[in-house]
Structure formats: structure tokens, C-alpha cells
């Protein structure tokens, strides 16, 4: 899929479309905002033709449908496995992925229409599994409130995975949705090392901030888990680092912790390897020995990390469930008055307390 499933909006732009934007044709809405948080970033506003995407059957993902209102991500995580998807748009998987952001401006209205279709059967929808739906761009475009409202109105189960603290803006909408359907929220926190965070996840809130978000969501009635991802071999996988991370996750009140070891798929592999070459060239031979040409670390290594994290989670009283476990806020059970009693001379006709029903 390149641009054949996207229809571009009317020809307006804050600046003329140049460079990569020329790929999208004369009707592209290309915007650049001269503010510190968006400097150097180009946004391409498009009107998508579809928004609910089926996950390929060969995927390892535990869900079948996704919604992705953005393509590309200003989080700029050097290891992001979604980088390859930018090559489908004839953009590079490195700098372009971080700075050329596609915004599906009609995502909410399109989702509402697709949820209302007779062909849709109310399956679980996962968000944030490709690029983060609460990246910085969401602060300006505000696509997620309309998306959550549509899912709430159709009582459609969904999950959100994010590194973004902006999710707290939509806390009340999440509570409303969780009152009528299954909602799962997971924060992605792979490690708590601040120096490592600054270099490999430069556009994200700090791990400590993300854990504060986890606590806030849980205390507000939206139980939140943590996807401990990625665990970076030889950078965040020592026993001391794993313990520090799991302890911080447990102290944040996370209801679950699920470790995932770094994936090195095409697109991500090249960008991450370039980062290693600049910052930790001593680790290049060890990564070559561990991964070879494979996208995934060997099973023995993954098992070693998973078992270590699960032991620590048990020690600190944190669950070890899967990342898509859904929870619903219990709704108050309606009260029901009993049938009226026959009147009697001694009745004071006061109503009797209602009994729980439903």
C-alpha cells in the first residue's frame, strides 16, 4: 500500500509543498509549524478511504484489527519496528519517519461510519501498535477524542498502547467508554535509565513521566498495564536494570508487566545499527552474534528475559498478563422496586428499599 488508499484534501498549505511533499501531488495539504515542538517536522494532511485495518494473518499480534490515525512518529525511537512502513510511501525509514508525518484528518468520522456498517461485527480494535496515536502531533490535531467517542457510542472494545502522556487529556472519555465496553490501556516503558532514554527515545516523555501516567490512569479507574518494551540487549538487560525497571513499574501501580525483547526488522535494523555505530560500536559484534540476519533474538534469550521479569513481577506484586487484557469499569447495578404490597390498615405506605437486580 502506498498512497492508493488515501485521498488528499484541498490544496492549501502553510508553506509550498517541496521535497518529499511533492510525492503526494498538487492537492496535498502540507503544513509546517514554526514552534519549538514541531520545528523541522512536516505534516501531510490526507483524507483516508478506510481506517479500520485487518492485521495480516501471519502476524504475531494477538489482535485482528487496528486503527492508525498517523503514519510516521515524532517520538523518533531509534528501534521502532514500524519504520519500514514509511518505505511503502516512498519515504525513507530514518529521518523521514521521524519528521514526515501523515495525518488522517478524517479518521474519526471514517471510523464512525465503518463501525456503523452492517459488515462490522464489533471486534476488538487495537491502537498505538504501529505508531503512537498520542505522539506530539495529537496535541495539535486532536484526532483521538473523536475516535474514542465513536468507539464509546458503538460500545466497541478497544485497546491503546502509548508512550504519550497526552492520553490523560482523554481520561474522562476513556472512563465513559470503559463503562460500556472493554477498554485496555498499556504504557510502553522498556527501561528507566534516563541517559539511555535521551538517546534512543528522544521525542518521548521520560520513563518516569510515563509511569506517573500509569498511576494516574489506574487511580482514576482505568487499570493500566505496562509493556516493558523493548528490552535492549546489553543496554537495558542486566539483572540490576531489569530489577530497577520492574520495581518502578510495580510502584506505579501497573496491573501487569509484559516484557518484549528488541525486534530488528528491516527499516528498524538499519537505523538502530547506525545508532549503535555512533554510540556503542563495541556492541556491534555482540548484536551480530545474537541476531545474525534474524529479526528476533533467539528464543533462549527471549525466554531468559521473560522468566527474569516474571520472577521480579511476582516479587513486587505486579501481575504478568498479556498486553491486551481488557478491563471494564463496573457499572452500578440498577435498583428495582419490589411489586407493591396489598394495602392494609396498618401500612404507613412508605416504599420499601429496592433490591439489587439486573
User: Given a cut of 60, is residue 335 above it in pLDDT?
Assistant: no
* Confidence label for 334 from pLDDT (cuts 50, 70 and 90): very low
Q: How far apart are CA 97 and CA 299, in angstroms?
A: 30
pLDDT(343) > 70:
no
Confidence of residue 339 (pLDDT cuts 50, 70, 90): very low
**pLDDT by residue (tens digit) across 250-260?**
999 999 999 99
103 phi/psi in degrees, rounded to 5? -115, 120
Whether the pLDDT of residue 225 is over 70: the answer is: yes
Structure confidence at residue 59 (pLDDT): 64
Residue 92 has what pLDDT? 85
Closest CA to 69 of 97, 102, 100: 102
* 99-116 mean pLDDT: 96
Round to whole Å and give the CA distance between 169 and 171: 6
Burial class of residue 240 (count of CB atoms within 10 Å of its CB; 0-12, 13-18, 19+): exposed
The 10s digit of each residue's pLDDT in 237-279 is 999 999 999 999 999 999 999 999 999 999 999 999 999 999 9
Coil/strand/helix, residue 20: helix
Q: pTM of the prediction?
A: 0.83
Q: Is the dihedral of CA 17, 18, 21, 25 positive or negative?
A: positive
- Residue 167: pLDDT over 70: yes
* pLDDT of 58: 65
Q: pLDDT confidence of 332, banded at 50, 70, 90?
A: very low
C-alpha cell at 203: 521525542
How far apart CA 327 and CA 339 sit, in angstroms, is 35
Q: What is the pLDDT of residue 34?
A: 82
> Which is it for strands 355-356 and 335-336: parallel, antiparallel or unpaired?
antiparallel
Domains of the chain: 1-161+172-186 (no CATH), 189-318 (3.30.750)
Phi and psi at 347, nearest 5°, equal -70, 135
- pLDDT tens figures, 2-41: 444 444 333 333 443 444 444 444 456 889 988 888 989 9
Task: Please count the other Cβ atoms lying within 10 Å of the Cβ belonging to residue 91.
Answer: 20
How many percent of the chain have pLDDT more than 70?
A: 80
> Cα dist. 357→125, 226, 350, 353 in Å?
31, 36, 21, 12
Amino acid at each position: 500500500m502506498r498512497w492508493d488508499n488515501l485521498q488528499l484534501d484541498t490544496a492549501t498549505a502553510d508553506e509550498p509543498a517541496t521535497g518529499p511533499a511533492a510525492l503526494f501531488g498538487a492537492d496535498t495539504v502540507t503544513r509546517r509549524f514554526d514552534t519549538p515542538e514541531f520545528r523541522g517536522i512536516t505534516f501531510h494532511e490526507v483524507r483516508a478511504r478506510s481506517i479500520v485495518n485487518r492485521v495480516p494473518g501471519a502476524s504475531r499480534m494477538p489482535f485482528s484489527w487496528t486503527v492508525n490515525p498517523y503514519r510516521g512518529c515524532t517520538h523518533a525511537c531509534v528501534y521502532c519496528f514500524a519504520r519500514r512502513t514509511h518505505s511503502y510511501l516512498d519515504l525513507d525509514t530514518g529521518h523521514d519517519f521521524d519528521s514526515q508525518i501523515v495525518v488522517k484528518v478524517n479518521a474519526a468520522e471514517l471510523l464512525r461510519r465503518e463501525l456503523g456498517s452492517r459488515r462490522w461485527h464489533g471486534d476488538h480494535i487495537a491502537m498505538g501498535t504501529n505508531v503512537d496515536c498520542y505522539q506530539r502531533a495529537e496535541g495539535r490535531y486532536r484526532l483521538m477524542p473523536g475516535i474514542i467517542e465513536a468507539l464509546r457510542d458503538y460500545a466497541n472494545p478497544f485497546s491503546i498502547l502509548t508512550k504519550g502522556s497526552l492520553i490523560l487529556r482523554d481520561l474522562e472519555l476513556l472512563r465513559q467508554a470503559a463503562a460500556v465496553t472493554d477498554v485496555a490501556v498499556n504504557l510502553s516503558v522498556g527501561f528507566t535509565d534516563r541517559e539511555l532514554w535521551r538517546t534512543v527515545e528522544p521525542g518521548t516523555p521520560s520513563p518516569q513521566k510515563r509511569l506517573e501516567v500509569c498511576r494516574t490512569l489506574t487511580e482514576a479507574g482505568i487499570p493500566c498495564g505496562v509493556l516493558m518494551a523493548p528490552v535492549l540487549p546489553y543496554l537495558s538487560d542486566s539483572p540490576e536494570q531489569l530489577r530497577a525497571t520492574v520495581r518502578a513499574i510495580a510502584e506505579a501501580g501497573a496491573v501487569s508487566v509484559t516484557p518484549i525483547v528488541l525486534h530488528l526488522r528491516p527499516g528498524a535494523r538499519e537505523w538502530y545499527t547506525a545508532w549503535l555505530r555512533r554510540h556503542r560500536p563495541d556492541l556491534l559484534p555482540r548484536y551480530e552474534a545474537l541476531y545474525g540476519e534474524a529479526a528476533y533474538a533467539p528464543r533462549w534469550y527471549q525466554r531468559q528475559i521473560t522468566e527474569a521479569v516474571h520472577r521480579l513481577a511476582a516479587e513486587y506484586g505486579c501481575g504478568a498478563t498479556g498486553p491486551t487484557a481488557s478491563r471494564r469499569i463496573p457499572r452500578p447495578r440498577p435498583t428495582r422496586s419490589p411489586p407493591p404490597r396489598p394495602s392494609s390498615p396498618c401500612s404507613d405506605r412508605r416504599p420499601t428499599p429496592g433490591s439489587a437486580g439486573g
